[in-house]
Amino acid sequence: MNGHLLLQTWRWQRIRLVLVGLAGVAWGVLFPFFYVQFAEVFKQLAQSSPMIQQLMNFGSGSLLTLPGTITLGFQHPLTLALVGIFAVGGGALAIAGERQRGTLELLLSRPISRRMLYVTLTVALLAVVALMVGLILAGMVASAAWQGVLDQLDLAQLPLVFASGFLLWGAFTTFSLAASVSFDRTGPALGVSLAYLLVNYFLEILGSLWTDAAWTQEYSLFHHFQPVEILSGRANLVDVLILAVATLVPIAYALVVFPRRELAAPS
């Protein structure tokens, strides 16, 4: 790993990271707040109609319990946008962006192997993604404490929630980086990465809203990050394993493919 490259990569992201990180904390704070303020109303609404009850089980989350609300928070489209800026945007542009800009030559004309370049960028982005997941989770926990409902969470399970959340977004990050090493231009890299994220999301949401299509959730990475299960002491290590494999396979792919790529002069 190259320290100068790592630091510069973080420097590029620092303003964005501060702004999006603050937004992430604020976003995390909102969920326990809404849960405390409106859970009873939601419960009454849910009892009034099976359809509304179904709609309240958006994704794998639920507005009726605090762990369910936290799950919902991690599956909300805005969370996708906040973390996706780094996981998908940052990942897809990391190397394809340098290639398209013509600056990859400058980096690779230094004594830096392609593997070292890839590993450094991967570590830099995974750290940023871990920070984002941590900030959102920290906002949720702080808000739960502020609202006096911390006892509804099994705090001992929080590290596993964080680890699973990190692996979920780590999988999208490493997939985007794998796309980034595969293309010379940012368009295809970004398109493939975004499609991967959205297909996973679609499968999870479709299965949650339409019981006949519930089987589709099994094929979504989002379905394997279940704070509600972890915080209820029903963590399934198979889910963690699936997320870990989904994170590691693109890394292995990139480590094999990137050094073998022909880097002709940018056209």
Please report, as a single letter, which amino acid is at residue 140. Answer: M
Helices (H), strands (E): how many in the chain? 11, 0
The only residue of 103, 146, 151, 191 in contact with other proteins, by rule CB under 8 A: 103
CB 247 within 8 A of CB 170: yes
In the bound complex, what is the minimum distance in angstroms from residue 113's beta carbon to other proteins?
Answer: 5
State the number of binding residues for other proteins (CB under 8 A).
Answer: 23
Show Cβ contacts of residue 242 under 8 Å, excluding neighbours closer than 6 positions. 221, 224
CB 95 within 8 A of CB 67: no
Scanning residues 2 to 61, which ones bind other proteins (CB under 8 A)?
2, 4-5, 8, 12
147 binds other proteins (CB under 8 A): no
In the bound complex, what is the minimum distance in angstroms from residue 265's beta carbon to other proteins?
Answer: 5
185 binds other proteins (CB under 8 A): no
The only residue of 19, 44, 77, 110 in contact with other proteins, by rule CB under 8 A: 110
Residue 141: both structure tokens together: 């926990």
In three-state secondary structure terms, 193 is helix
Residue 98: both structure tokens together: 């340098």
94 binds other proteins (CB under 8 A): no
160 binds other proteins (CB under 8 A): no
Could you list the residues that contact other proteins (CB under 8 A)? 2, 4-5, 8, 12, 101-103, 105-113, 260, 262-266
